[in-house]
């Protein structure tokens, strides 16, 4: 098993990416406040260590599937922030030409198979992608991100069982941020660790502190190696906490301020800052410089996206179906005299 030693440079790179995600999300909230976004915005604040620690092990040929809370996954996988902001603001220059919004960003060039507005919707897609990789004898893997709420959907159970019996190269990453909208995970499930569900499918389950970037990076590295070596799927539970509301506009009356404050103290970015300062001897000015550089990049992407135009009404019916399908459908309508 490869020993995953993490260098100072790698930690600084993780820090930069986590700051990039947090800054992107804070800017997305600002855009929502200005009524510039055209669909719900679900932010990833507090969960950054998971996407960054995991995607550091992936290449563009490895796939990920994501959720309605997908901005962090996209950025960690290398998506273009200007195209993301343009999509959030329904501009033609966006990833889906402004017709998909925050919850439907996909980028095949970097192996990002798509965010998904359907809770649990990405899980069977990951299994399909895993089957394609196995069928073509590829060494690449699929990482399937989903929430604790999604782990109570039928798709979760059917997909894990199928991936297990077919020995597919998929790592199922349950981001347990404690809530599904307003429902506490403790109220919807009687087991303490969702990773224990792996036993029911005969696969390995791992429970990880998702707010500790070093632990995420190391444990995922071990899992990825096993899966690349052909040992079949793994279920990883990442314990974390959603620091902002479920979406912009959530009144958060289902959790106490004390609980949120406790988790703010365990913020993954603060945690990494402490390691960088105290263990790696990184001066405060260097951390501030990284924050400023990322802020500049994120705000430039947002400003440029704002200047892009909205799609024209004539474009409304384009890109809805696959061309061949649309063509066949059209012929059927013609035959029916419609
Ligand atoms: C199939 C389906 N059911 C319900 C919803 C409404 N919904 C949107 S987000 C959400 C909660 C999802 O919780 P979780 O999977 O834990 O992800 P989190 O929001 O915590 O990241 C629900 C129920 C939906 N979008 N799709």
pLDDT per position as a tens digit, 23-70: 999 999 999 999 999 989 999 999 999 999 999 999 999 999 999 999
The pLDDT value recorded for residue 152 is: 97
Quote the CA–CA distance of 196 and 331 in Å, as a whole number: 52
What are the residues whose beta carbons fall under 8 Å from the beta carbon of 76, sequence distance 6 or more? 17, 21, 51, 52, 54, 55, 56
Nearest ligand 1 atom to the CA of 146 is 15
The residue whose CA is least distant from atom 4 of ligand 1 is: 119
Residues 102/183, Cβ–Cβ less than 8 Å: no
Give the pLDDT band of residue 319 (cuts 50, 70, 90). Answer: confident
CA of 53 to the centre of ligand 1 (A): 24
Element (H, E) at 238: strand 234-239
Mapped onto helix, strand or coil, the DSSP state of residue 145 is strand
Find residue 142's DSSP bridge partners. 63, 170
Could you tell which of 104, 119, 158 is best to mutate to test the pocket of ligand 1, judged by most ligand atoms within 8 Å of the CB? 119
Q: Say if ligand 1 is within 6 A of residue 94 CB.
A: no
Give the pLDDT band of residue 318 (cuts 50, 70, 90). Answer: confident
The pLDDT value recorded for residue 2 is: 56
Q: Quick check: 324 pLDDT over 80?
A: no
Q: Say if ligand 1 is within 6 A of residue 69 CB.
A: yes
Q: Say if ligand 1 is within 6 A of residue 148 CB.
A: yes
Nearest ligand 1 atom to the CA of 147 is 15
Quote the CA–CA distance of 285 and 310 in Å, as a whole number: 40
The residue whose CA is least distant from atom 19 of ligand 1 is: 180
Mean of the per-residue pLDDT values of the chain: 95
Q: Quick check: 333 pLDDT over 80?
A: no
The residue whose CA is least distant from atom 8 of ligand 1 is: 119
Quote the CA–CA distance of 78 and 306 in Å, as a whole number: 21
Give the pLDDT band of residue 3 (cuts 50, 70, 90). Answer: low
Q: Quick check: 91 pLDDT over 60?
A: yes
Give the distance, in angstroms, between the CA of residue 37 and the centroid of all CA atoms in the same chain.
Answer: 19
Q: Say if ligand 1 is within 6 A of residue 118 CB.
A: yes
Delineate the domains of the chain, giving CATH numbers in brackets: 8-335 (3.40.50.970)
For residue 287, give Cα distances in angstroms to 21, 67, 270: 15, 30, 11
Nearest ligand 1 atom to the CA of 148 is 16
CA of 90 to the centre of ligand 1 (A): 22
């Amino acid at each position: 098993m490869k020993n995953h030693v993490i260098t100072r440079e790698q930690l600084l790179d993780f820090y930069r990416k986590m700051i990039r995600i947090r800054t992107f999300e804070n800017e997305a909230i600002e855009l929502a406040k200005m009524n510039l976004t055209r669909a719900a915005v679900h932010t990833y604040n507090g969960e950054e260590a998971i996407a960054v620690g995991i995607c550091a092990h992936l290449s563009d040929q490895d796939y990920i599937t994501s959720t309605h809370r997908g901005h962090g996954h996209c950025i960690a996988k290398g998506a273009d922030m200007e195209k993301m902001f343009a999509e959030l603001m329904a501009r033609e220059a966006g990833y889906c030409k402004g017709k998909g919004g925050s919850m439907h960003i996909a980028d095949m060039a970097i192996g990002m198979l798509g965010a998904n507005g359907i809770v649990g919707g990405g899980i069977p897609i990951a299994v399909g992608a895993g089957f394609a990789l196995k069928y073509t004898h590829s060494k690449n893997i699929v990482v399937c991100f989903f929430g604790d709420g999604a782990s109570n959907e039928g798709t979760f159970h059917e997909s894990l069982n199928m991936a297990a019996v077919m020995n597919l190269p998929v790592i199922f990453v349950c981001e347990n941020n404690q809530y599904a909208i307003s429902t506490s995970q403790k109220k919807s499930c009687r087991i303490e660790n969702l990773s224990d569900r792996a036993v029911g499918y005969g696969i390995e389950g791992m429970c990880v502190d998702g707010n500790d970037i070093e632990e995420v990076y190391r444990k995922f590295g071990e899992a990825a190696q096993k899966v690349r070596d052909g040992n079949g799927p793994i279920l990883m539970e990442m314990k974390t906490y959603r620091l902002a509301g479920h979406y912009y506009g959530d009144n958060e009356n289902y959790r106490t301020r004390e609980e949120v404050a406790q988790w703010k103290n365990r913020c993954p970015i603060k945690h990494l800052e402490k390691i960088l300062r105290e263990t790696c001897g990184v001066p405060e000015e260097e951390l501030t410089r990284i924050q400023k550089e990322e802020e500049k990049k994120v705000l430039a992407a947002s400003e440029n996206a704002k200047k892009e135009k909205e799609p024209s009404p004539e474009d409304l019916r384009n890109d809805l179906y696959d061309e061949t399908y649309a063509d066949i459908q059209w012929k059927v309508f013609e035959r029916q005299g419609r």
